[in-house]
Amino acid sequence: MKHRIDSIFADLRARDAKGLMPFFTAGDPDLATTAALIRAADVAGAAVCELGFPFSDPIADGPAIQASMQRALDGGVDVAAIFDTVRGLRSDVKLGLVAMVSYSIVHRWGLERFVAEAADAGFDGFIFPDLSLEAAGPARAAADAAGLTLSLLVAPTTPLDRARQIAAACSGFVYVVARAGITGARAALPPELTDRLRVLREVTDVPLAVGFGVSKPEHVRDVTAVADAAIVASALIDRMQTAERPLQAATDMLHELAGGLS
């Protein structure tokens, strides 16, 4: 089955282009702003937008995303409201929409129900950061049956053979974690990242999207010299949190980041 995410990456490759993948926490500071951010990302030329589902127990999330999720939870955001927000804007944007969500939330809803609701709302895929390769089979089957993708994470410490297996279990793209530890903007990317991406590129043709610490146009440039897309999360949230006009600040940064695409 041809997924929207597959089509997006196929189009990028056909044009010898690379993708920007911003991350926003749904409901921070509110869902109306979230919708506006997704529209702004689309206008800025982002290929895919990751939408984080607020969760009280962080999974490798650094201070910026933890605080963002707590603000959303404090504002009363829930899964149903996120689905409604996406449903209301899906026809307005062409970029891909991927849900970054703890599998415990999915389990609580029930896998089939969650996937069906996400598909109906207009999501194109999932990232389950706490779902292991060994447990991913049912989720991958459910997502594929609904026409959605499922991306798993490859860490810096993942052995190459296991990374190959993870990539084979992914659809859409592989989420490559740039550095060990938690999320957060960094001054520089790990010097060994480029070589690691080249090795991964040799064992899989699935698109590679790199996150954790990507925060500047030059990071985007360096990452997409080898990978297919750069994921920016904490840096966007930090910029919004310190700005008098958060939406404008995020919009400006999206355009800056897009300028770094290889």
Of residues 6, 103, 99, 50, the one with CA closest to residue 210: 50
Structure tokens at 33: 């702003």
Give the closest residue to 64 by CA, choosing from 174, 252, 215. Answer: 215
| Greatest CA separation for the chain | 47
Residues marked as catalytic: 50, 61
CA nearest to 149, candidates 115, 183, 122, 172: 172
What's phi and psi for 216, nearest 5 deg?
-135, 160
Q: How many helices (H) and strands (E) does the chain have?
A: 12, 9
Specify the 3-state DSSP secondary structure of 126: strand
Angle at which helices 217-224 and 246-258 cross, to 10°: 40
